Amino acid sequence: MGTVTFRKMHGLGNDFVVLDARAAPLPLSAAQAAAIADRRTGVGCDQLIVLEPPRDSLADVFMRIRNTDGSEAEACGNATRCVASLLMAETGHGHAVVQTVAGLLDAEAHGEQVTVDMGPARLDWRDIPVSDAIDTLHLGIEAGPLKDPVGVNMGNPHAVFMVDDAAAVALEVYGPQVERHPLFPEFTNVEAVQVLAPDRIRMRVWERGVGVTRACGSGACAALVATARRGLTGRRATVVLDGGPLVIEWLPDGHVTMTGPVSTSFTGTLDDALLAQA
C-alpha cells in the first residue's frame, strides 16, 4: 500500500484518525480499519475518517466514516467539524461543504469554533428506522434504568433516553442491549440525557459500533431535538458531554446546527506491518 500518513484529531475527546485519499484511492478492509482504530495495537480512535474526492460538485470533499469494528457509519458531527477545519485551513475560506453518505453538510468557522449544519432532524418511524409503525416520541422499550426513548435520525439513528442522573447510567451494560434491540433493524446509537435547565443538557452516549465515547455530535443534536419534542427544553441548548460542551440549535426550518472546538493531537505514518496483519 506504500506510505500512508495520518492526522489524529478530536472534538471534545471524540477522536479520529484522518487519512487523505483525495489524490489516490486508499481501499481499506473492515479488518484494516479496525486494526488502525485499535487503541492497544493500532493508532486508536473512535472513528477512522477517509477523505475522498467529492461525488457532488457542491462539496469540497467526501468523508467516509468507519467505526472501531470496521463497519461504516453514515454521519459523525464531530468528525465533520474536524474535517471542515482542515479544508478551511487549506483554502483560507471560512466555509466548507463536507459530503457523507447521509448528504451534504455545510460548515463555517467562528473564531476557534466550527459550526456544522447537520441537516434536518428526521422523526418518522421509517426514517429512524424502527421496525414498527409507532410514534417516535415514545418508543416504549427499556433496558435497566433506560426507559421509553425518543427516536431521532440525524443522518444516523438515535434512541434518546431521559434519565435523572446521566453519570450514574452504566451505558457499557445497557447501551449494547438497546443498540441491538429488535426494534432497530440498522441498530442505533444510545443517549442517556439529563435535563439541567431549559437551555442546558447533560448527555452520555453509547455509539453504535464503537461503545462509550467522550462525545458524539450527532448524538448531541438528537438529544436537543428529543428534549425539545418532549417540551423539556427550548430549541437551543448547551449539551454537556463527558469531553465538554457543544451548542446545539434546532432551527425553524428543521435543520440542526452544532458548534464546538476541534483539535489536532499529532500526525504520523502507518506501519505496513499493521495493515498486513489485519
The Cα–Cα gap between 106 and 275 comes to 33
The Cα–Cα gap between 181 and 159 comes to 11
Tell me the three cell numbers of residue 206. 453509547
The residue among 127, 212, 135 whose CA lies nearest residue 166 is: 212
Return the SS3 of 56: coil
How much of the chain is helix, strand and coil, in % rounded to 5? 20, 40, 40
Location of C-alpha cell 468507519:
66
216 noted as active-site residue: yes
Catalytic residue among 45, 76, 82, 221: 76
The Cα–Cα gap between 115 and 190 comes to 23
Burial 70-84 (b: 16+ CB within 10 A, else e): beebbbbbbbbbbbb
H/E run at residue 106: strand 103-110
Catalytic residue among 45, 82, 216, 221: 216
Residue 151 has a CB neighbour count (10 Å cut-off) of: 29
The Cα–Cα gap between 191 and 178 comes to 10
The Cα–Cα gap between 241 and 239 comes to 6
76 noted as active-site residue: yes
Q: Give catalytic residue positions.
A: 76, 216
